[in-house]
Structures are given as structure tokens and as C-alpha cells.
Structure 1
Amino acid sequence: MTAQTCPRQHQRTTMEIASLEPSLYTVKAVFILDNDGNRLLSKYYDTELYPSMKEQKNFEKNVFNKTHKADNEIAFVEGMTIVYKCSIDLFFYVVGSAQENELMLMAVLNCLFESLGQILRVILESDPQQVIQKVNYRADENPLSEQSVAQIMQSAKEQIKWSILK
């Protein structure tokens, strides 16, 4: 009887360890809330985490209530690791599992935050000629502009995968 339970315990331990290894599925959700905690944008990558809209909004409200007055950048809510950043009246959140590396999540958050900042700088320009010049200038200096968004995302996934596997 003992010999039969040991291999099973070993299998569970191996499976538990495998679930802790880094993967490309480290981000469970990303959402942006206004200064009242209302959802502006959200994307849940783990559909089993909060399957209904009501559960998602309850989770977001709970996260907002625990983070909007704090000066930290990391929170642990409902067994999830959450990194966040505030900019004027917007709150940006990236959610990972409890075992997730906060630095990986923070890299995702910083990329999202800075990308939106760059995009919004162009949008805030009121002179159409300036917008065209800025967009064309960036397109010329950035060879990725010829690729589709899907190609860019696939390339980024491959780069992350290989950097994790090294």
C-alpha cells in the first residue's frame, strides 16, 4: 500500500512543480479603472478565473478598494498577485497567480503603461499635419510597422519564451 501511494505523491509533486515553472501564460488579467473604480477596459486571459462579468466586476471593485489609497505597486488579493500603477485618474492593473514573479508582471504593466502613453501623445495633437508627420516618422524608423499586430505579438512571445528557457 505504501509503495502505491509513493508514486502518486511523486506525480503530484512533479505536477505541482511543473505548474510553478514560468510560462507564456503568466498574466491572468489586465484591467484599467477610473478614479471611482469603474471599469474602462479589461481582458481576462484565464477564462476560469472569473467566468462571469459580475464576478469580474466584483473582483475589480475589491482590488480597487484595497489599492487606490495605497502607495505600493504590488498587492495580494483573493490569492492573486497584482501589480498596479496610477496615472492622474486612471489605475492600471496586471493580475497573475499567487506564485507569479512580480518582476515579470511589472514588465507587462510598464509596457502597457508606456505604450498607451506613446499612443496618446499622438492623439492629443490637434494639427492634422503634425499627426501625419509623427505617424509617418515613427513608421519609417520602426521596421515592425510593416508587420501585422499578430506577427509582432508572435515574435514577442517567441522572444519571451526563449529568454525564459535560457
Structure 2
Amino acid sequence: MAPNLSLFSVNAILILSPDTTRVLAKYYHPPHSTTTTTTTSSTPNTSQQSNPYPTLKEQKPFEKGLVEKTSKSNSDIILYDNRVVVFKAESDVMLYVVGGVEENEMLLWHTLLALRDSLNILLKNATDKRTLLENYDIVSLAIDEIVDDGIILETDPATIASRVSKPPMQEVGGVKGLDLSEQGLLNAWEFGKKQLAERLRQGL
């Protein structure tokens, strides 16, 4: 029987501290899954494609057990709760990429390295818990550039960092030299007032 091929490779990306506190967590479902996302304790989760942790109630024990398991592990890859998990310690946090039991470990590993390296670029090698929380929006955007709906989109750290850090108006014609400093904004305000006054005079 041919394997069930799917672009859906990542079940979750987690950033956790050693005391099992969650810094950031993103769980993914297949984008066009027909399976329900709600499960009960009496209903086993048989689908390897569906997310087995749809609610916080399921996610918290998984994360706690994951931290306890990886804190004693000498390798960077484990099989936990019937999931392939690759992980790396960075300062006072742990980065995790979780995939299905049949997922390619090297693919998940490169995704993890993309996350680590892009965060190092964006946060200037300060990937500690405090810096991650202070820059939560940047970290979240970086993860979204790497994985969308469980599908790996990009693994080049420089590309990811450039997309996240690029000013929104940088490529719009005519505003490349826009001064967004306080003085620049005051100058723009004064210019706007003068233009409005001039048009009102012309209208009269």
C-alpha cells in the first residue's frame, strides 16, 4: 500500500522553559482535514494526521511530560507520545518541533535549525526567555514564516529574518526615504497643515 503522502509535516512548534512554563506554542491541524478537532478521553486518537492536542487541557500535560523527558535526554531527537520530537536548548529555554511518528527526522531538524538561527538573527543572539517574551510578536511572525498550517514553507534563516524585520512600507514607491523619527513626523504634520491651509484659501 502506498504511504499517505502529505505536506502536513509539523504538529507543533513549542518554546518552553525548564520549569515547563510555556513561552510560545503553536499547534497545527491539517488545513483541509475532515476530522473533528474535539476529542474525549474515551475516544482514542487514531489519525496521525490530525492534531491530538486540540485544547489546552491536552496540551499542558504533553508539554510538561516533554520537558521532563528531554531534560534527561542526551540526544536532540526522541519519540514521545507516538510523535517524533526534535529539540534544542537555547539559553534558558527549549525549542521543540513536533511531527508525526512517520515524519522525516531530518526535515523536522532543519525546521528546528531554521527557527533557532532566524531568532538568533532577529534577536541578536539573545534567545533567552525574557527577550523572547518582550519580542513575542517578532518570534510569532518568524514561526509563521517557517510553518503555516503545519506545512513547512521556508528553512533559510536569512530569508525568514528579512521577511520579519522588513518595514511594511519599504517597497512602496515614493516613501523609501520616509523619516519616521519624532522630528520627521512633526515636520510631516506641519507640512500637511500648510497644504490644507493653502487648499482652503484656494477654495475660498
Structure 1 residue identity aligned to 2:12:
A
Measured against aligned partners, the alpha-carbon deviations of 1:17-40 in whole angstroms (never above 9, x if no partner) come to: 2x2x3x321011000001212110
TM-score in terms of structure 1 length: 0.61
Please give the alpha-carbon distance, in whole angstroms, between the structure 1 residues aligned to 2:57 and 2:113: 28
Please give the alpha-carbon distance, in whole angstroms, between the structure 2 residues aligned to 1:99 and 1:123: 34
Give 1:28's match in structure 2, choosing from 11, 14, 18.
11
Give 1:113's match in structure 2, choosing from 94, 97, 116.
116
TM-score in terms of structure 2 length: 0.50
> Deviation at 1:97?
0.4
The answer to whether the aligner puts 1:89 opposite 2:72 as a matched pair is no
> Deviation at 1:63?
0.8
What does residue 164 of structure 2 align with? none
Measured against aligned partners, the alpha-carbon deviations of 1:118-147 in whole angstroms (never above 9, x if no partner) come to: 1111889xxxxxxxxxxxxxxxxxxxxxxx
Structure 1 residue identity aligned to 2:61:
N
Give 2:77's match in structure 1, choosing from 35, 56, 74.
74
4+ residue segments displaced more than 6 Å: none
Structure 2 residue identity aligned to 1:39:
R
Please give the alpha-carbon distance, in whole angstroms, between the structure 2 residues aligned to 1:120 and 1:67: 25
Is the contact between residue 120 and residue 126 of structure 2 (CA under 8 Å) also seen in structure 1?
no
Matches within 5 A, 1:120-159: 120-121=123-124, 157=153
Please report the RMSD computed on the Cα atoms of aligned residues, expressed in angstroms.
2.6
Of Structure 1 and Structure 2, the greater helix share is in: 1
Number of aligned residues: 114
Is the contact between residue 24 and residue 157 of structure 1 (CA under 8 Å) also seen in structure 2?
no
Is the contact between residue 84 and residue 91 of structure 1 (CA under 8 Å) also seen in structure 2?
yes
Question: For residues 101 and 123 of structure 1, do their structure 2 counterparts lie closer, same or farther at Cα, with a shift above 3 Å needed?
Answer: closer
Is the contact between residue 76 and residue 82 of structure 1 (CA under 8 Å) also seen in structure 2?
yes
What does residue 37 of structure 1 align with? 20
Is the contact between residue 30 and residue 94 of structure 1 (CA under 8 Å) also seen in structure 2?
yes
Structure 2 portions without partners, runs of 5+: 30-36, 38-50, 128-143, 156-204
